[in-house]
Amino acid sequence: MRIALCGGTGDIGEGLALRWAYDTGHDLIIGSRDPEKARTKAEEYGTELESRGTETTIKGFENAMAADRADVVVLAVPPYHIRDTVEAIADRLDSDTVLVSPAVGMKRDDAGLHYNRPSAGSVTEMVAEVAPEGVPVVGAFHSLSAGKLANLDIELDEDTLLVGEDEDALDIVHLLAEGICGLRSLSAGSLENAAEVESLTPLLINLASHNDDLHGVGVTFE
C-alpha cells in the first residue's frame, strides 16, 4: 500500500511513518508544504530505521506530490491547516484514495486541555466537508501519543478507534492500524461519532499530567 503522510514532518506523522516502515511493508511518502523539509525528514526517518536494521525507501515531497497516486493519505496536520492542505491536494484525490484524519482541536485553560469542537461537529467531519465529493474519509489514530509512537523501543499495547461510513475505506484503515504491532483498531461507528472519539485526546493528556507513570498514556477498551 502506498501511504502519504501530509504534514508527515510533524510529530504524529513521524510516529506513524516510523511504525509503518518498521512493522509493515507499505511504501511511505512524507509530505510537507516545504519539499526540502519533507526530504530532510524522510532521510532522518530512513537513518533511524537503518540503525535498527530496516532498509526503507521513505521519500519526501511537497504535499500534493506526496498525495499523488497514494492509496491512503493521512492528514497529519493541525486542525487549522486541514482546509489548506485538502485544497492543495484535492486534484490528486479520488474515490479510490482513503483520506485519514487523526487531528484533534484542543484549547488550554488553567485546568488543562479541552476538546475544541469545530462547527462541523468534529475535525473528522470538517475533513469530510472539505474533501472532494466521493473521497472516503476515516477518522483514526487520535488517541496515540506521538512521542510513544516515534520511540520504536516502546512496545505498544493499546487501541485506536475508527469512524467512517465507507466500509472499504474502513477495512483498509483497520488493516493499516493493525499492521502496527501492539495496536488494535475498534469501530466507533459513523463520522457523527467522531466528537466523542476526538475528545479522548485532551482527556489522555490531562491524565498524563495528573497521574504518575501515565506519560504518553494510551487507552484500551475491554
Who contacts 61 (Cβ-Cβ below 8 Å, separation ≥6)?
29, 30, 31, 35, 38, 39
Instruction: State which of residues 83, 114, 120, 130 lies at the interface with a copy of itself (CB under 8 A).
Output: 114
Instruction: State which of residues 43, 90, 115, 132 lies at the interface with a copy of itself (CB under 8 A).
Output: 115
Cell, residue 68 = 499523488
Stretch that binds a copy of itself, among 25-33, 61-69, 75-83, 106-114 (CB under 8 A): 106-114
Stretch that binds a copy of itself, among 3-11, 57-65, 73-81, 208-216 (CB under 8 A): 208-216
Q: How far apart are CA 124 and CA 122, in angstroms?
A: 5
| Closer CB to a copy of itself, 17 or 161, in the complex | 161
β-pair partners for 139: 101, 163
Q: What pairing do the DSSP bridges indicate for beta strands 106-109 and 112-115? A: antiparallel
Task: Mark 55-64 as b/e (b = at least 16 C-beta within 10 Å).
Answer: ebebbbbbbb
| 150 to 189: interface string for a copy of itself, x by CB under 8 A | -------xx--x------------------------xxxx
Q: Is 118 in the site for a copy of itself (CB under 8 A)?
A: no
Give Dmax over CA atoms of the chain in angstroms.
47
| 66 to 105: interface string for a copy of itself, x by CB under 8 A | ----------------------------------------
Residue count at the site for a copy of itself (CB under 8 A)? 37
Q: In the window 22-51, what residues touch a copy of itself (CB under 8 A)?
A: none
CA of residue 211 relative to chain centroid, distance: 26
- How big is the chain by its Cα radius of gyration, in Å? 16
Asked if 124 and 198 touch (Cβ cutoff 8 Å), the reply is: yes
| Closer CB to a copy of itself, 70 or 138, in the complex | 138
Instruction: Identify residue 154 by its one-letter amino acid code.
Output: I
* Residues in touch with a copy of itself (CB under 8 A): 109-112, 114-115, 157-158, 161, 186-193, 195-197, 199-200, 202-204, 206-207, 209-211, 214, 217-222
